[in-house]
Structure 1
Amino acid sequence: MSKLFSPIKIGQLELKNRFMMAPMENGLADMGGEVNERIIDFFVERAKNEVSIIITGSVGISPEGRGLPTQLSIYDDKFIPGLKRMNDAIHKAGAKVGAQIYHAGRQASEAVTGIQPIAPSAIPCEIVGNNPREMTKDDILEIKEKFKKAAERSIEANFDLVEVHFAHGYLLHSFLSPHSNKRIDEYGGSLENRMRFPMEVLKEVLDVCRGNVPVIIRISADEYLEDGLKFEEVKTICKKAVEAGVEAISLTAGSYDAVEYTIQPMFIKQGFLIPFSEELKKEVNVPIIVAGRLNSAELINSIVEEDKADMIAIGRGLIADESLIVKMKENDYQDIRYCVACNQGCIDKVFLGQGVNCLVNARAGFDKERKIEKAAQAKNVVIIGAGPAGLEAARVSRLRGHNVTIIDKANKIGGKMETLSMPPEKATFLFFRDYLYNQFIRLGINFVQKDVESAKDIKDLTPDAVIIATGASQTVPPIKGIDSKNVVMAEDVLNGNVEVGSTVAIIGGGLVGTETSKFLANKGVKVHIVEMADTIAKDIGATFIGHLFKTLNEKGVEQHLNAKVNEITEQGIILEDREIKADNAVIAAGYKTNDSIVEDIKKTLKKFIL
């Protein structure tokens, strides 16, 4: 059997395999940080599926240091009973559990806590948009005591391990980083001084935990900022931490100022942290844990087999597929529903103060109420549309025991998934298409190619239930000249159905418009984005937005904001106040639902519609 499934010890704590659930925020706790049934259900579902240890995500050690309103807290004894109840449930389900104790520092917000944030230096975090104050010596003493108390409460709440957060731009990391620490006292300047406060905190925690539970740190191998913390200094910090008594090191990357390296989107290379873990293993003699876009079973297996790390920490991958480890253990790699690194359902939602969900896993965050159970009676289920919604409905219906037929006018499945994957750096969307295709084959779902225009087109299939999953089509805005030969739709451009000239004007600056801009600019086309609002990319999440604007700027894409198109001509487009010369106008102005058959099916098959 793979080395991945052999036991490993962190200090005296024995773990059954090499899989850790990484400490990723999930937004499922109650407002204020109390444990509830929803967060317990979420962790228990992963514990039942062979995770050896779950790190619960950041647990706030102080009220002003909480980064999110729905983040677990441990700054008061009142939190202990709930945490103990959660941990007991995780233990019963078969996993160990660790507390990642932290203070958000300059990445906290008064809007969340009602208290001004504290930091090594009074440098605002651009993403949060806050106004931290510089910590005094009294603050430093107080925070050390709060970390100590958090460690004591962690033991009382039956945590098996304590992880001290040295990463991601939070308080301890912000002291380590020259980017955020501009102090001129004994806590700033040289690495020795910048390490002083984090190491004092660590020693307080170690003193509490020694003989009770092991202590580990999570640290950013590289902050990915020009003036940030770099790996050479990180290696020194790790050596000092091990000398102090740390029993393992968990590697991550980035900070909020380089957030794309903290929760890596599609454009960050898979396994980008592996070279760091491989090198760090040569420097220290404790287990090294690595994370970072590990959404390939073959890659995960090779890391431990080739001794590049001792353990694997997976966050989003276990949100996307709670059974990932079981499927790896059974060598059923084709059944894994990989994370596509879109960040739309997980961290984008959590940053908005909502609970985690997942673009590819509708059960994530709803683990108890969305169980797939056998139906009392098998029915003939007809699904119209073989895109991702239709295929997922077919998968669930088949698992419930129904006979399923899926219909699509195209002789293929996947809907717009290929279109979605066409822009630069979006290819991993095909992971989900491939998963759905594999399920379609292995579950024996019937497929019929047919253009369904009315209820009579499906009567021969004698449906007991009909699911309409016909998706949406691009809207065509009512602009003078919209029927001109030089007007093309964004989807046709992405699918390679049309050719465009050397200059284009894209009408619409949302997700489709900006991704089409990248696609064309990458081919050397001069691109103008025309948007009626005051900004483009309004609905794009924090981990993508910076990279998007950087790419558009590098490719010379011009933005025309608060701009209304009056007319499209053969020479380009005419705005209210100017004209843009362009060979083609590309429409990316939103979508409308394909619902023309709904009423007829409702009317004709009244008792069968779902």
Structure 2
Amino acid sequence: MIRKYPNLSKPIQIGNVHFRNRMFGAPMGGTDITADCTIGRASTAFYELRAKGGAASVTVSELVVHPETEGSHMYHLDLQTVGALSSFTYTADAIRRHGAIASVELSHSGQYAGTYLTDKDKKKGLNQWGPSDGVRPDGLEVKALTEAMIAEIVEAYGTSAALAKRAGFEMVMVHGGHGWLINQFLSPYFNKRTDHYGGSLENRVRFAQEVLDSVRKAVGPGFPIEFRMSGSELFDGGYDLTEGIEIAKLLESRIDLLHVSAGTYQRGFGVTHPSMFLPHGSNVYLAAEIKKHVSVPVATIGGLNDPKMMEEIIATGKADIVEMARALLADPELPKKVMTNRDDHIIHCLRCFTCMAERAMTATRRCAVNPLIGRELDGMEILPAAKSKKVLVVGAGPAGLQAALTAARRGHKVVLCEKGDEVGGILVGEQAIPFKHEMYKLGVTLGKLAEEAGVEIRLNTEVTKAYADQENADAILLAPGSAPILPPIPGLDGENVIVVNDLHHRQDQVSDQVVVLGGGLAGCEAAIHFAREGKQVHLVEMRAELAPDANIRHRPILLGEIEARGIKVLTGHKAVRVQPEGLACLDGEGREVLVPGTSVICAAGQRPRRDVVNALWDSALEVAQIGDCVKASTITTAIYQGHHAAMDL
């Protein structure tokens, strides 16, 4: 048999352990950390899903090694807490029984203890310890660790590693990047010590070396130790790639796998976890350069989800292993699909940060394109229905596509009708914006999967009451989506106005001087797109702030991109008239101003198509409404509602 991606599919031995391919599941925090900081049953299922999907390794994150100085609500492992050891054992079993190697991330946040607490005020009750005295950006005082405390923490790393091995984990990852404690010691920005743990690079590396020695003593020879580091801190005052290479060289004799990530807490979330505004694989260059200087295998990470790119990384020697986190939330079966030459079936991560925002907001997990994530115990298996029904799905947007796909997989006879000439609904318009292309691709892939599952897709087909009655379906799932809001503004129907939903049809008509009307998520992202093309862009919003509909992880990055691109923002401005030379608005004091722009992009929001829902409500005994027709919302809501409406049939 010929594999399409032979390098990604090739096994590798690290230490005495054999891994089935080169695709590893990077650390991801669980979904139900108990009050005692043990692994809940939902988290065990969460990690197991990636093992079932074919990943060579699945890393549980984060095990806090020394709760006395890092009291965050993350995993703890000791023999005193009832359920701690057993919860880790059950999780290791769940991962290993599917052929993946279970690993656990050993961590200490140092001065950033409490970062993942949902109640941020509780951070004030934690001791913030670091290499040196100081004050955090949020005003919390940081105290320097004494040498006695350092020795205690070093020993704790070994103790935790030994217990993880006892629980059945076959590898450990020592977290030495992203601004956490080990990184704080490595960094000249954080580490101002004058003893043998500070000053020279050799001194700053000492803590990491002692930690690794402690772990090695605890787990013994041949047991793989993976060390995660930032190849560069990527900010002034931190260490750069040149020093990152030297750090790697000073540590390689103590490790079996070097995991090269990027950035630090100071640099920004969207760099360590590359946002949609950055190229895929934007941090790979760090691993590629460091690999030239070390002899141990090197892993790379950062917005990777394309098998072609990942194959090239391995084939050209930039890294030996690729690691993914978000990509395996979007599609846990990505590795299995790569191994079996079914890469065209992959549901790609959108890099929308829904997963990370949900963790920060509710301490759970959710994925925009995978309705199972964080709810694996609520129905991971799509089981055949007791009775096959004829199901009519109205609308081939994300909600309708997901509903049709799930219903077909359950054995129902599904007809999916779409008024337009292609599937995807509102996602079709995203093809106009390169950094949102994966949203467009989502619709294409869901359509392909639905068709292969047996869904009959009828394009250019509007479902009227008569049409639905003629189909005589047992159940009808209504997903007609939403329509763009067009405010009653004179001139909005002019030739110089383009509704953002239609941008993919008219993008060659956009001039070099653009006004975007509407500062919600869609308007902001359109403005960024035009600014990237070198156009002069004004962004007009009636409310006092931009993008209130963006999630808490994506929004700061979005606003930063708007500022960096030089987009002129006018909040508190109400549009009153479209003119050939721009958009007339009333400012906050009621004065009329002209915002210049020979092209006006209308992104004033979406309105649910309630007329379609109301007309078809009695077209079958079983009826459900899903997606934007209920309330203009997100891809996440559409996918989730579509899946569960089909599960309820």
Give 1:46's aligned amino acid.
Answer: R
- Residue 496 of structure 1 aligns to a residue whose secondary structure is helix
Cα separation, 1, equivalents of 2:38 and 2:554? 31
Residues 277, 67 of structure 1: alpha-carbon distance in 2 compared, 3 angstrom cutoff: farther
- Residue 603 of structure 1 aligns to a residue whose secondary structure is coil
Residues 43, 487 of structure 1: alpha-carbon distance in 2 compared, 3 angstrom cutoff: same
Structure 1 position 266 matched with structure 2 position 276? yes
1:51 pairs with 27, 51, 55, which one?
55
Q: Which residue of 2 aligns with 1:141?
A: 151
Q: Which residue of 2 aligns with 1:367?
A: 376
Residues 494, 177 of structure 1: alpha-carbon distance in 2 compared, 3 angstrom cutoff: farther
Residues 265, 68 of structure 1: alpha-carbon distance in 2 compared, 3 angstrom cutoff: farther
Cα separation, 1, equivalents of 2:198 and 2:505? 54
2:477 pairs with 457, 463, 467, which one?
467
Q: Which residue of 2 aligns with 1:423?
A: 433
Contact 2:32 2:41 in 1 (8 A): no
Cα separation, 2, equivalents of 1:75 and 1:547? 38
Give 2:384's aligned amino acid.
Answer: K
Contact 1:19 1:52 in 2 (8 A): yes
Summarize deviations over 1:12-46 as a string: whole Å, max 9, x none: 22223333211123444335522111111112222
Alignment of 1:150-169 (within 5 A): 150-169=160-179
Structure 2 unaligned segments of length 5 or more: list them: 115-119, 625-644
Cα separation, 2, equivalents of 1:474 and 1:121? 54
Q: Which residue of 1 aligns with 2:104?
A: 99
Q: Which residue of 1 aligns with 2:593?
A: 580
- Residue 513 of structure 1 aligns to a residue whose secondary structure is helix
Residues 275, 493 of structure 1: alpha-carbon distance in 2 compared, 3 angstrom cutoff: closer
Cα separation, 2, equivalents of 1:29 and 1:522? 42
Q: Which residue of 2 aligns with 1:284?
A: 294
Alignment of 1:54-65 (within 5 A): 54-63=58-67
Q: Which residue of 1 aligns with 2:76?
A: 73
Structure 1 position 318 matched with structure 2 position 366? no
Offset at residue 324 of structure 1 (A)? 1.4
Offset at residue 202 of structure 1 (A)? 2.2
Q: Which residue of 2 aligns with 1:119?
A: 130
Cα separation, 1, equivalents of 2:434 and 2:20? 40
- Residue 143 of structure 1 aligns to a residue whose secondary structure is helix
Residues 103, 65 of structure 1: alpha-carbon distance in 2 compared, 3 angstrom cutoff: farther
Residues 338, 407 of structure 1: alpha-carbon distance in 2 compared, 3 angstrom cutoff: same
Offset at residue 483 of structure 1 (A)? 5.5
Could you tell me the TM-score, scaled by structure 1's length? 0.90
- Residue 366 of structure 2 aligns to a residue whose secondary structure is coil
Structure 1 position 596 matched with structure 2 position 614? no
Offset at residue 331 of structure 1 (A)? 0.9
2:538 pairs with 524, 528, 534, which one?
528
Residues 199, 512 of structure 1: alpha-carbon distance in 2 compared, 3 angstrom cutoff: same
Q: 404-413 or 71-80, which moves further after superposition? A: 71-80
Q: Which residue of 1 aligns with 2:633?
A: none
Residues 67, 95 of structure 1: alpha-carbon distance in 2 compared, 3 angstrom cutoff: farther
Cα separation, 2, equivalents of 1:557 and 1:67? 42
Residues 226, 412 of structure 1: alpha-carbon distance in 2 compared, 3 angstrom cutoff: same
Structure 1 position 404 matched with structure 2 position 417? no
Percentage of matched positions with identical amino acids: 28
Offset at residue 258 of structure 1 (A)? 2.7
2:91 pairs with 86, 89, 108, which one?
86
Offset at residue 465 of structure 1 (A)? 1.0
Alignment of 1:190-209 (within 5 A): 190-209=200-219
Structure 1 position 177 matched with structure 2 position 203? no
Q: 499-508 or 13-22, which moves further after superposition? A: 499-508
Cα separation, 2, equivalents of 1:264 and 1:502? 29
Cα separation, 1, equivalents of 2:19 and 2:575? 66
Cα separation, 2, equivalents of 1:542 and 1:199? 37
Offset at residue 53 of structure 1 (A)? 1.9
Cα separation, 2, equivalents of 1:50 and 1:444? 25
Q: Which residue of 2 aligns with 1:23?
A: 27
Offset at residue 212 of structure 1 (A)? 7.5
Offset at residue 86 of structure 1 (A)? 1.5
Offset at residue 520 of structure 1 (A)? 3.2
- Residue 266 of structure 1 aligns to a residue whose secondary structure is coil
Residues 476, 259 of structure 1: alpha-carbon distance in 2 compared, 3 angstrom cutoff: same
Offset at residue 553 of structure 1 (A)? 2.6
- Residue 255 of structure 1 aligns to a residue whose secondary structure is coil
Q: 455-464 or 538-547, which moves further after superposition? A: 538-547
Q: Which residue of 1 aligns with 2:41?
A: 37
Contact 2:543 2:573 in 1 (8 A): no
Q: Which residue of 2 aligns with 1:357?
A: 366
Offset at residue 547 of structure 1 (A)? 4.4
Residues 594, 231 of structure 1: alpha-carbon distance in 2 compared, 3 angstrom cutoff: same
Contact 2:573 2:585 in 1 (8 A): no
The number of equivalent residue pairs is 604
Could you tell me the TM-score, scaled by structure 2's length? 0.85
Cα separation, 1, equivalents of 2:455 and 2:575? 49
Contact 1:218 1:251 in 2 (8 A): yes
Offset at residue 288 of structure 1 (A)? 1.6
Q: Which residue of 2 aligns with 1:9?
A: 13
Structure 1 unaligned segments of length 5 or more: list them: none
Residues 527, 129 of structure 1: alpha-carbon distance in 2 compared, 3 angstrom cutoff: farther
Contact 2:399 2:479 in 1 (8 A): yes
Residues 66, 434 of structure 1: alpha-carbon distance in 2 compared, 3 angstrom cutoff: farther
- Residue 97 of structure 2 aligns to a residue whose secondary structure is helix
Contact 1:105 1:117 in 2 (8 A): yes
- Residue 373 of structure 1 aligns to a residue whose secondary structure is coil
Offset at residue 135 of structure 1 (A)? 3.0
- Residue 372 of structure 1 aligns to a residue whose secondary structure is coil
Cα separation, 1, equivalents of 2:420 and 2:240? 51
Offset at residue 328 of structure 1 (A)? 1.3
Summarize deviations over 1:371-411 as a string: whole Å, max 9, x none: 21112222211111111211111111111122211111111
Offset at residue 353 of structure 1 (A)? 4.2
Q: 174-183 or 600-609, which moves further after superposition? A: 600-609
- Residue 293 of structure 2 aligns to a residue whose secondary structure is coil
Offset at residue 524 of structure 1 (A)? 4.7
Q: Which residue of 2 aligns with 1:568?
A: 577
Q: Which residue of 2 aligns with 1:414?
A: 424
- Residue 559 of structure 1 aligns to a residue whose secondary structure is strand
- Residue 29 of structure 1 aligns to a residue whose secondary structure is coil
Offset at residue 68 of structure 1 (A)? 6.2
Contact 1:455 1:605 in 2 (8 A): no
Cα separation, 2, equivalents of 1:354 and 1:388? 26
Q: 326-335 or 594-603, which moves further after superposition? A: 594-603
Offset at residue 219 of structure 1 (A)? 0.9
Summarize deviations over 1:310-343 as a string: whole Å, max 9, x none: 2222212211111112211111111122222222
Give 2:592's aligned amino acid.
Answer: E
Contact 1:26 1:350 in 2 (8 A): no
